[in-house]
Amino acid sequence: MVCESIIWLSWALLKYSALALVATAVYFTYKLFYVPLAFRRKYSQYKNVYVKPKFIPVLGELKPCLDDINNGRAFYDHLKKQQAKMGGKDIKVYVQGFEPRIIIASNKAVKEAAALIPSKIDRADIQDNYRLMIGGLKFSSGSFNNYASSKGIAERRKSYFKLLGVNTSSQHIPVILKNAVQNLEKMKQEEEVLITEKISYMTNKIFMTILFGADLEDFLVEKHDYETSDGTTAKYNLINFFGHLLTAYHVEGAHPMTMFFPILNKLNVVNPWKRNFKNLSRFRSIMKEMLHRSKDKNSVWHQISQLEKFSKDDIFNDLLLIIMGGGDTISRSFVSMLYFLKKYPSTLSKLKHELAQHGFVKGCDLDQMFTMENIQKLEYLSYVIKEVLRIDAPIWTTMNYYAFKDVEICDVPIPKGTLMLIDVIGTHYDESQWLDPYVFEPDRHDPNSDFAKKSKDLGIVPNVYSKRAFGHGLRGCPGQAFANLELKVLAAFFIPHFDYSVPEEWLNKEGIGFALGTDFNFKLKID
């Protein structure tokens, strides 16, 4: 009798395991083969839609990224040639893992898409969608970024950027400058500086101070336990904790297991999800404790809390989003600037000349020089920044958009529920919009320069949609004014105050880039 029950039980177990296995195989085949192939087939019938000739199952668009990395290039290098391959098509089909997407590519398509935001196209409402709530988005879970543009969400977004916008961001110049001075002093004490790390530390510290309080300096250097991927516990201060955690979430977001088993991503039951979640919970509670200590009435946290319009939790989540959105985008752009200026020495000389002409020289009176009025006079610097953001935008595409209704873009029907992205880097290398796009040439942004005139004579004239670094439309980057200001202050301070060298082999190599997700980190020697 016992024997019979065991046999029956084993048989049932075997049967249900086999059924579960078959069901899983059917599910994966459906999601990883049928859905993307059907998506490709559907869009292949439109002449203005680009569908890659070859279907790479599962890996899809990840494959060329891996090829780039394996060949020592930035993972998005292949995308620079994308526009040329597409032959002027408006839309591209993007197939990878479980979620096929549409890439909005041509200027015409971006213009049409931007006009549909937010009534028909908007941020995906992803707060409870574990398929889309991945990577860095988990870090700022609950922030306004994870919701479509309701009145309340739009108001939240607007409130922060009133304090970080064109008219108000000048109040933050002293904080930026103070951190730049401190950072330079520290860098001078080291023989060689790992530049990406150093600049990232500085921009994150600037942001923590502005957002949470200038009286938190001591708290920011206290060390906390951080669980590392090799199972040990590291001690990091809050800024390094943040940097490591965010990188861990970016890696988690790109992890194939996150793509294939999104439920594990939601449940956080195994590593790396479990470890990251534990670190994130610790980070959030330390940050909350820190907020209780801050008495700085000028901090964004304090000013927004005073409005009594939003819950403390919402403000907290939004500020985490803002540090995430603004810290490393700025640091990566600044490192890129240092790199391209060394690669193009005549541009560096021209920039130094402009800075000197306006009084930004070594030993100048910093408080007197660094006013909004003086900074705005630096025209060539603004062209240099524009060019950095063109040649090496810190984000290769916008964030996700979602069709809330059936729409048409450039006469291509896009049904409700489709996920979309707006291309950034492909457009920045489009030869029909940019003359010699592989050349770092700030003059292209100066309408009175010979280069811009030559370009115009050849019929190559970029328009507002040719520049995509900050996106377009109502959900485009709200931090653009702040980013430009911080980049200007950093450049106007650092360029006259230090001389540096970049390893020769880096300067001669093609495909180097510093966008988020890359790990180029050259050693800079300060002379």
Q: For binding to ligand HEM (CB under 6 A), which residues are involved?
A: 123, 145, 157, 164, 321-322, 325-326, 329-330, 333, 389, 393-395, 398-399, 422, 469-471, 475-479, 482-483
Q: Measured from the CB of residue 396, what is the shortest distance to ligand HEM in angstroms?
A: 9
Q: Measured from the CB of residue 114, what is the shortest distance to ligand HEM in angstroms?
A: 9
CB of 160 or CB of 283, closer to ligand HEM: 160
* Distance (Å) of CA 184 to CA 402, 494, 526: 44, 8, 9
The span from the CA of 347 to the CA of 391, in Å, is 14
CB of 236 or CB of 249, closer to ligand HEM: 249
Taking CB atoms, the residue at the shortest distance from ligand HEM is 479
Strand partners, 128: none
- Residue 369, token pair as written in the block: 């020089």
CB of 136 or CB of 326, closer to ligand HEM: 326
CA angle 488, 490, 494 (to 5 degrees): 120
CB of 136 or CB of 394, closer to ligand HEM: 394
Query: Is 477 annotated for ligand binding?
Result: yes
Q: Fill in the amino acid letter for 517.
A: G
Q: Measured from the CB of residue 515, what is the shortest distance to ligand HEM in angstroms?
A: 9
Name the DSSP letter for residue 38. Answer: H
CB of 64 or CB of 478, closer to ligand HEM: 478
Q: Measured from the CB of residue 469, what is the shortest distance to ligand HEM in angstroms?
A: 4
Q: Quickly list DSSP for 186-212.
A: HHHTSSEEEHHHHHHHHHHHHHHHHHH
Q: Measured from the CB of residue 123, what is the shortest distance to ligand HEM in angstroms?
A: 5
Q: Measured from the CB of residue 338, what is the shortest distance to ligand HEM in angstroms?
A: 14
- What ranges in 213-311 are assigned the alpha helix state H? 217-221, 238-254, 256-260, 262-267, 273-293, 300-307
For residue 388, the surrounding DSSP H or E stretch is: helix 379-391
CB of 106 or CB of 398, closer to ligand HEM: 398
* Distance (Å) of CA 14 to CA 1, 5, 173, 525: 20, 14, 68, 64
Work out whether strand 401-403 and strand 419-422 pair parallel, antiparallel, or are unpaired: antiparallel
For residue 104, the surrounding DSSP H or E stretch is: strand 101-104
Q: Quickly list DSSP for 404-445.
A: SS-EEETTEEE-TT-EEEEB-HHHHT-TTTSSSTTS--GGGG
The span from the CA of 385 to the CA of 523, in Å, is 22
CB of 113 or CB of 502, closer to ligand HEM: 113
CB of 103 or CB of 364, closer to ligand HEM: 103
Residue recorded with tokens 């001690």: 235
Residues, the chain? 527
The span from the CA of 85 to the CA of 480, in Å, is 30
Binding residues for heme: 477
Binding residues: 477
